[in-house]
Amino acid sequence: MTGEFAGRVAIVTGASRGIGAVLAEALAARGGDVVLVARDEARLEDVARRIAAAHGVNVRVVAGDAADAQVAARAVAAAIELGGLDLLANVAGWYPTALVEDTGDEDYARTLASNLGATFAMCRAALPELRARGGAIVNMSSTAARFPTPGLALYGASKCAIEGLTRAMAVEAAPLVRVNAVSAGPTMTETVKALMATDKTGAVAAVTSALPLGRLAKPEEIAEVFLFLASARSSVITGQVIHANCGGHMA
């Protein structure tokens, strides 16, 4: 698919690490220019330098909280400087692991802001430009939205909200903008690798063995689903939540 996104500009949030960084590089490898958004400016700059050197595309960095309306506006402005905006990929997120009664106000506020708040702020800022050019939004959801897991109630609730927002925007933004979401399951990110290295309870192994495919997803595999939903290959798909979780939605 070399050149599939040539001449197109994408904003990717959560682009300093994990699935976001992998997705940004995959878009660049297919010819797309990218605007990277994340809190960690140093890591974001490293990702930007690597992508620009490897793929020769235009890369812009916007450091800050994607839930901040000013950060969202800066990201859209950076995309316009590159020629316009064709794709918004909302990957940024946060998940505390605590039972409801043990969840503090700070984690409550941060989870809603980092998941629903960031997705909403970025979509609100991006939609006028996406409508002008025609384009796509792909949001990040999770199996936790539909399959209750102790300790992930708040995270799951925030992802339920993202799925509802996705469907509503798909109706509001049609026919010029398609809006979909990816429901990702456990994925072999840096965070999960670190957890596996220290996990003495066997929890990660238990989760893995319960998946029909018997393994966790790779960040590159989740990125491929984002790319499909962002591309002309999915031109008749909107308002959908695509499960990309090694069969976890059936387990």
Domain assignment present for 34:
yes
| pLDDT, tens digit, 9 for 90 and up, residues 45-84 | 999 999 999 999 999 999 999 999 999 999 999 999 999 9
Domain assignment present for 105:
yes
Does residue 199 have a pLDDT over 60?
Answer: no
- Overall number of domains in the chain: 1
As a whole number of angstroms, the distance between CA 48 and CA 16 comes to 9
- Please, what is the angle between helix 105-112 and helix 153-173, to 10°? 30
As a whole number of angstroms, the distance between CA 116 and CA 165 comes to 9
Residues annotated as catalytic are 155
Residues 249/147, Cβ–Cβ less than 8 Å: yes
Domain assignment present for 3:
no
CATH (domain of 51) = 3.40.50.720
Does residue 237 have a pLDDT over 70?
Answer: yes
The set of residues, in sequence order, having a beta carbon less than 8 Å from that of 81 and lying 6+ positions away, is: 60
